[in-house]
Amino acid sequence: MASTIEPPLNFGLVCPGVFRSGCPGRHNLAFLERLGLRTLVRLIDCTYPSAVQEWVDENDVHVISCCMTPNQEPFVGLESTALLAALAVIQQPDLRPLLIHCIRGQQTTGVLVGCLRRRQRWSLTATFEEYRRYAGPTASMLDLQMIELLDTSTQAQPLGTQMPARLHGMSSVSSSQVHSTVDAAAGKLPPGYEDSSGGVVEIERVARDPGGSPGTML
């Protein structure tokens, strides 16, 4: 019997080379293989099931953690610095095709995609409609406010800056360790991956040399 091809929860195409979904499970691997993914952008602190981690290792898929706490009314707000760092990551053409995910692919993923839509000059009406379509009953006014008011012009990451070809093992890079220039030979991250509040953006696995066909930038 042929294996079932099942996409992750709330899977969708964001733009060429960029996909979104909930956290992938072992039953989604056959589908993910068809996408030819080079990068997983993880927005939540989670551990992949063993089958998914094995697939990541075997296929040299980059796992980039830009973890952030979702908006929770009325007092917990999503950190803008972490959001801007994630926005910088998903605009790197050499990391594509990539999959953005949180737990269910709704709120946190929706806020990040909404901020990308603003940079793509979508109207707020269309941006909010897309957010609500994926968020469903979990839709939050705080999320919509974040999408509307975040100043994406403060993003330090130039769209054309490339990520180092290889970072051995796992490294955690804080803002104090990141300089304003890219030094790939020394294994430093490009500007925009740092968290200006002193937080950490983790690069868990960067094991594939850029060489694939990058997604189209919008």
For residue 121, is it left (φ>0), alpha (ψ between -120 and 50) or beta? left
Cα 114–Cα 138–Cα 51 angle in degrees, nearest 5: 80
Active-site residues, by number, are 102
> In 5-29, which positions are buried (b, 16+ CB within 10 angstroms) versus exposed (e)?
eebbbbbbebbebbbbbbbbeebbb
What 8-state DSSP symbol labels residue 161?
Answer: P
Q: Under 8 Å CB-to-CB from 156, ≥6 apart: which residues?
A: 84, 88, 191, 192, 194
Rounded distance between C-alpha atoms, residue 41 and residue 16, angstroms:
16
| Maximum distance among all Cα pairs of the chain, rounded to whole angstroms | 54
**Which tokens belong to 98?**
């990539």
